[in-house]
Amino acid sequence: MDQPHAIISVRNLIKNYADFNAVKGISFDVYNHEIFGLLGPNGAGKTTTLEIIETLREKTSGEIYVDGLSVDKDANAIKRIIGVQLQAAGYYPNLNLVELLELFAGLYGVKVKPMEMLEKVNLQDKAKAKYKALSGGQKQRFSIATTLLNSPKIIFLDEPTTGLDPQARRNLWDLISEIRDQGTTIVLTTHYMDEAEQLCDRVAFVESGKIIALDSPDNLIDQLISSGFERKKEVKKANLEDVFINLTGQQWREG
Partner 1 sequence: MNKPYNHTTATLALAKASFRSIMRSPSAVVFTLAFPLIFILVFGFLGGGGVKVDLAVAPGSDVQNPVMQALENTAVIRLIKDKNNDEIQNELEKGHYAGVINIQKSGIEKPEYLANVSYSAASIDKGNILKSVLNNLMYTLNSKDLKPAVAEIRESTVQGRTYRTIDFILPGQLGFSLLSTGVFGTAFVFFNLRQTLVIKRFFATPVRRSSIILGEGLARIGFALLGAVFIIVVGHFFFNFTLIHGVTTVLNMLILSIIGLVVFMGFGFVVSGIAKSESTIPPISNIITLPQFLLSGTFFSIDNFPSWLQPISKALPLTYLNDAMRLIAFEGAGLWDVRQQILIMLIWGIGIYALAVKVFKWE
Residues in contact with partner 1 by the rule CB under 8 A: 54-56, 76, 79-82, 84, 86, 88-95, 99-100, 102-109, 146, 150
**Cβ-based nearer residue to partner 1, 109 or 249:** 109
The nearest distance, CB 202 to partner 1, in angstroms, is 24
For the chain, list the strands marked E by DSSP.
6-16, 21-31, 35-39, 61-66, 69-70, 82-85, 154-158, 185-190, 202-207, 210-215
Cα–Cα dist 193/170, whole Å: 14
Q: Report d(CA 62, CA 25) in Å as an integer.
A: 8
Distance CA 251, CA 210 (A): 39
In the sheet that 69-70 helps form, which strands lie side by side, from edge to edge? 21-31, 6-16, 61-66, 69-70
- First-to-last CA distance in the chain? 45
Amino acid letter, 215: D
The amino acid sitting at 184 is T
Choose between 188 and 203: whose C-beta lies nearer to partner 1: 188
Q: How near is the Cβ of 166 to partner 1 at its closest, in Å?
A: 27
Taking the complex as a whole, the smallest distance from the CB of residue 26 to partner 1 amounts, in Å, to 21
- Nearest distance from residue 222's CB to partner 1, in Å? 37
Q: Which is nearer to partner 1, 24 or 130 (CB)?
A: 130
**For partner 1, the closer CB: 85 or 161:** 85
Cβ closest to partner 1, residue 39 vs residue 53: 53
User: Smallest distance, Å, CB 2 to partner 1?
Assistant: 27
